[in-house]
Each structure stands twice: as C-alpha cells, then as structure tokens.
Amino acid sequence: MDIPDVRNCIKSFLEGCDLVYPKTEAHLQFEADIVAESKRRGYITPENAKLRPFISTGVSMACNAYCHQSHEIQLFVCFYTAFLIYMDDSYETDIEHILPYNHNFITGEPHNDIILNYFRELMLEAPTLFGMAEANIIISATLNWITGLTIEQEVRNAQLGPSSYQLPTFARIMAGAAEAFALYIFPKEVPLIWKLQALTHACPFINGGNDILSYYKEQVLGETTRVALTSKCRGVTLLVVLNELVDEAVTAHRQTLIALEGSGSALEAWKAFSQGYIGFHAGSTRYLLDRLDLEAAA
C-alpha cells in the first residue's frame, strides 16, 4: 500500500471522528519526573535499565490521551503503557518465557524477569485509583493481553483459510487491553454504569484507531498486521481492509458520544481522550507518523 493511500485512510478516520492531527510537545518535565519515580520504585537501576527506552512512549500516552486526568492516574498510565510495550518488544520471539506470567500473577510466585514483578505491583494499585469493579476488568484485560501475545504469534505463523477471517480480529481484541485503556479515561467518581455503556463502543475505537495509526510503522518494519492477515484470509486488498477499519472506528467513536449523552464529565473525558489518543500516536516516534506529512494533509 502506498503512502498516499495510508495518509488518505488516516485523514478519513480523523475527519469522520471530527478530530484533528495535532502538533505535540515533548513533555520533558513529566518524563524527568517519571524517570525519577521509576528509580525510586526500583523500576530503573544502574544494573537494570531495560524499561527506560519505553518510558517515552508511556509519557506520550499519559500526557496526550489522558491529559484530562489527575497526575497519579497519568503516572499509572505511563508506567502501564511502558510495561506493555516492554513486554511486546522483549518477548515477541520468546513467548515461552512470558507464558507463566498469568499463573505467577495469581499465585504470587515471582517471575524470573524482575520487570514483570514490578508490573504486578503496579497492577495491584488499580482498585485504589479506579474502583474495585473497574480494577477487575482492567486486570482481566491485562492478563488477556499477555495471553494475546501467544495468540498473535500462533495466528501470525499459521496458514489461515477463508473460514478463519475473523481470527485476526479475535487475536487483536485479546492483545489490545482496550478495556483497560478505556476505563483509564474516566475519573473514579463517574458512575460505573456510564463507564460500562461506553466500553462496548470505546474498545473498537481504541483497537481500530491504533491499527489505523500504526499501520504505516508496521508496514515499514515488515510486521504481520491484522490488516494483512484479514486481507489474506478474505482475498481482498489491504486498502479494502484498512478502509473497513476506518469505518468501524468512526462508527465506534460516534456511538460512544451517543452512549455518553447526559453523562456530563464522562462525555467530556471521552472527548478529551479521543483527541488526545491521536496526539499520543503523533507524539510518539514509535509510529513514524512524521514521515506521512499529516499536518499538511489535515
């Protein structure tokens, strides 16, 4: 797929959601604070700085997508994002090493990667920040995300036929942790019923939006994507699948706005997040979006 096609899909996504491609800043002070807190917590030490390269992406997520949230939630989101990307990059070809994580999380057994032990400690903060029911969903989604790494590898390496066309989407949902990222949007005092009404629409927006905005990076790096696998199963072009994801994400965003009508702060939080989610991708060098000249296309 050519760059103009990818650029046009992103432009259609933004226009359909009434969002803009923003100019972003580096948030250097927040990152410095996060690094200091990482050292205080033991996440980063002179002997083990493996998490440090992933902090910047976490900063972009926290300061853009969750700019409306409190500092303590931004801090949690930053660490959560950094841990996920650390695991995604570190264990992509070493799935066997991470498979015991969910069992260890439940039993309290230490994992042989100290970074993952710190991740468990972070997750145990969720009930205080988000509420108990919300934390249950967040933790379930996170454990599914770990399992999703295995599922994605299996799907990526399989010979899939036409009858398996929904399997790439199932793998994407499992490995998206979208329920967690959706619940981080809302202040704790927002009634649970409003959060639940938003979830079913917010999750396809979060997963689909990331697929759309990360597609160029994945194509450049030769990664096997949900778009490519679905295209192969169905025998349609990559552009057809990417445009369908755009339509689904736009619909999900609009339905979230409708679901939250009358909710007050929950609706405002969603509006801030949805625009900030674009800012997260734009502000992270991970996604290579600066190569697409999207500011000029906006």
298 residues of the chain, pLDDT tens digit each: 789 999 999 999 999 999 999 998 889 999 999 999 999 999 999 999 999 999 999 999 999 999 999 999 999 999 999 999 999 999 877 888 999 999 999 999 999 999 999 999 999 999 999 999 999 999 999 999 999 999 998 898 888 899 999 999 999 999 999 999 999 999 999 999 999 999 999 999 999 999 999 999 999 999 888 999 999 999 999 999 999 999 999 999 999 999 999 999 999 999 999 999 999 999 999 999 999 988 754 4
pTM of the model as a whole: 0.95
Which residues 6+ apart lie within 8 Å of 27 measured at CB? Answer: 59, 60, 63, 283
What six digits make up the tokens of 207?
């997963």
Give the pLDDT confidence score for residue 1 in this predicted structure. Answer: 76
| In contact, 201 and 255? CB cutoff 8 Å | yes
What six digits make up the tokens of 219?
């194509």
Dist CA 30 CA 3 (whole Å): 33
Give the pLDDT confidence score for residue 296 in this predicted structure. Answer: 56
What six digits make up the tokens of 65?
């997508």
CATH class of 3-297: mainly alpha
Give the pLDDT confidence score for residue 297 in this predicted structure. Answer: 47
| In contact, 212 and 245? CB cutoff 8 Å | yes
Which of 287, 298, 286, 292 is closest to 55 using CA atoms?
286
What six digits make up the tokens of 208?
């689909």
Which of 166, 136, 281, 182 is closest to 226 using CA atoms?
166
